[in-house]
Amino acid sequence: MSVQEVKFYQTGTFTVGNRLLAENERAVQANMRRTNSLNSGHRACQGCGEALGARYAIDAAMHATGDRVVAVNATGCLEVFSTPYPETSWQIPWIHSLFGNAAAVASGVAAAMRAKGRKDVRVIAQGGDGGTTDIGFGCLSGMFERNDDVLYICYDNEAYMNTGVQRSSATPPAARTATTMAVGDEPGNRFGTGKNVPLIAMAHRIPYVATASVANLRDLEDKVRRAIAIEGARYIHIHVPCPLGWGSAPSDTIKVARMAVESGLFPVFEAEDGVVTSRYKLRRPVPVEEYLKLQRRFAHLFGKNPDTATLARIQAMADQNIGFFEL
């Protein structure tokens, strides 16, 4: 993590801004004239983590490139709530083609920019977990393998929210979705082997892979700033809570994201050329329950007689992350 080492500034770099920090040390989001790449008036739910993550990321990219960014968007919540005719919330050149081809379309844009000799224009592809880890996975892997000059950002809210909260390959075990109801003898999503796309991205040996969370703005901005400058295929996986799909309070979006990180369930790290180069060390570690019980999708694990066995399995996953990534 290359977040600046916290000098003692009351809130250090934990808050968005800090009047005691030097101008250049402040977050892009703290800037009075920030670009608001995803403009007001979008139709995201109250407390939408994806809307937040997208503005954080694209603003950071615009700031780092002097607004020379083009974005390709996969079908999904972000696309639907940001560009319903006759209005768009985007301030940058933006295109939506299909659900599963964002990475490929971005490869095309990048190729066009190369052909036009506009390497100064940076290309970003973005999509949700469905468009990235499931239906868009083939195009994503192809883009990685060719090492096309594209930064792919996945906003992971762990299910197909746009269509009404159905299970995706990023949905965590035991989570209730519309297609993994909390009934039967294994309520919620079944325990699979998991599909860790950041690790899969690393297996492509692309120059840069990182995970980030809306709960850690500085880290997120810093990673986008680093990634946007690198040539070749880059991947950033951002954890963005969905109040609707997770059954969390809209006002808890950032808290939930923070708990995911501090519990170890969502490891925040950075990898270059396939090797982990930095990780976020847990600041105030919490048991997974602290995270899970904020979300109704896990309500069936609690209540009168808590499902201690399942909770233990989830805790084990967190502990494994903590061990594997040295969190």
Partner 1 sequence: MLRQVEGSQAVAEAVALCRPQVICAYPITPQTHIVEGLGEMVKDGRLAGCEFINVESEFAALSVAIGSSAAGVRSYTATASQGILYMAEAVYNASGLGLPIVMTIGNRAIGAPINIWNDHSDSMALRDAGWIQLYAETNQEAADLHIQAFRLAEELSCPVMVCVDGFILTHAYERVDIPSQDEVDAYLPPFEPVQVLDVSDPVSMGAMVGPEAFFEVRYLQHHKQERALDRIPELAAEFAARFGRESGGLLRTYRCEDAETIVVALGSVNGTIKEAVDEMRARGQRVGSVALVSFRPFPLAAMRAALGGARRVVVLEKCLAVGIGGIVSDGVRKSLSGIALAGHTVIAGLGGRAITKASLVSLLERAARDELQLLNFLDLRQDVIERELGRERASRRSGPTAENILRDLGATAAGASPS
Partner 2 sequence: MRKPFAITLDPGSSLANHTGTWRTERPVYVDRLPPCNNACPAGEDIQGWLYHAESGDYHRAWRELVRNNPMPALMGRACYHPCEGSCNRAKLDSAVSIHAVERFLGDRAREEGWRFEVDAPPSGKRVLVVGAGPSGLSAAYHLARMGHSVSIFEAGPLAGGMMRFGIPKYRLPRDVLDAEIQRILDLGIELRVNRKVSDILEEMRHGSFDAAFLAVGAHIGKRAYIPAGSSARILDAVSVLRSMEGEGPPLLGRRVVVYGGGNTALDVARTAKRLGAEEAIIVYRRTREKMPAHESELEEALQEGVLVKWLSTIREAGEGAITVEKMQLDEKGFPQPTGELEKLEADSVVLALGQDVDLSLLKNVSHLEVKDGVVQVDANMMTGHPGIFAGGDMVPSERTVTVAVGHGKKAARNIDAWLRSTTYQAPPRHELAGFERLNTWYYTDAPKRVQPTLDVARRQSTFDEVQGGLDAQTALFEARRCLSCGNCFECDNCYGVCPDNAVVKLGPGQRFRIDYDFCKGCGLCAAECPCGAIEMVPETR
Min. distance of Cβ 146 from partner 1 in angstroms? 7
Min. distance of Cβ 1 from partner 2 in angstroms? 16
Q: Residue 217: which of partner 1, partner 2, none does it interact with, CB under 5 to 8 A by kind?
A: partner 2
Q: Residues binding partner 2: what is the number (CB under 8 A)?
A: 54
Number of C-beta neighbours around residue 296 at 10 A: 14
Min. distance of Cβ 64 from partner 2 in angstroms? 17
Report the Cα 50 to chain-centroid distance in Å. Answer: 8
What is the spatial distance between Cα 145 and Cα 322, in angstroms, rounded to a whole number?
A: 29
What is the spatial distance between Cα 39 and Cα 53, in angstroms, rounded to a whole number?
A: 13
Instruction: Considering only residues 19 through 78, tell me which ones interact with partner 2, judged by CB under 8 A.
Output: 19-20, 26-27, 29-30, 32, 36, 38-44, 46-49, 51-52, 55
Are 288 and 314 in contact by the 8 Å Cβ rule? The answer is: yes
Q: Residue 16: which of partner 2, partner 1, none does it interact with, CB under 5 to 8 A by kind?
A: partner 2
Q: Residue 278: which of partner 1, partner 2, none does it interact with, CB under 5 to 8 A by kind?
A: none
List the x/- string, 141-160, binding to partner 2 by CB under 8 A.
--------------------
**Single-letter amino acid, residue 204:** H
Min. distance of Cβ 62 from partner 1 in angstroms? 10
What is the spatial distance between Cα 166 and Cα 117, in angstroms, rounded to a whole number?
A: 42
Q: Please tell me whether residue 14 binds partner 2 under the rule CB under 8 A.
A: yes
Q: Residue 170: which of partner 1, partner 2, none does it interact with, CB under 5 to 8 A by kind?
A: none
Q: Residue 42: which of partner 1, partner 2, none does it interact with, CB under 5 to 8 A by kind?
A: partner 2
Are 174 and 308 in contact by the 8 Å Cβ rule? The answer is: no
What is the spatial distance between Cα 322 and Cα 327, in angstroms, rounded to a whole number?
A: 5
Report the Cα 174 to chain-centroid distance in Å. Answer: 21
84 vs 323 by CB, closer to partner 1 = 84
Q: Which residue has the tokens 């950033």?
A: 236
Q: What are phi and psi of 134, to 5 degrees?
A: -110, -90
Residues 6+ away with beta carbon under 8 Å from 297: 175, 176, 177, 188, 245, 246, 247
Number of C-beta neighbours around residue 185 at 10 A: 4
**Single-letter amino acid, residue 168:** S
Min. distance of Cβ 167 from partner 2 in angstroms? 25
Min. distance of Cβ 94 from partner 1 in angstroms? 5
Note the residues at the interface with partner 1 (CB under 8 A). Answer: 67-70, 72-73, 79-80, 82-86, 88, 90-98, 100-101, 104-116, 121, 138-139, 141-142, 145-146
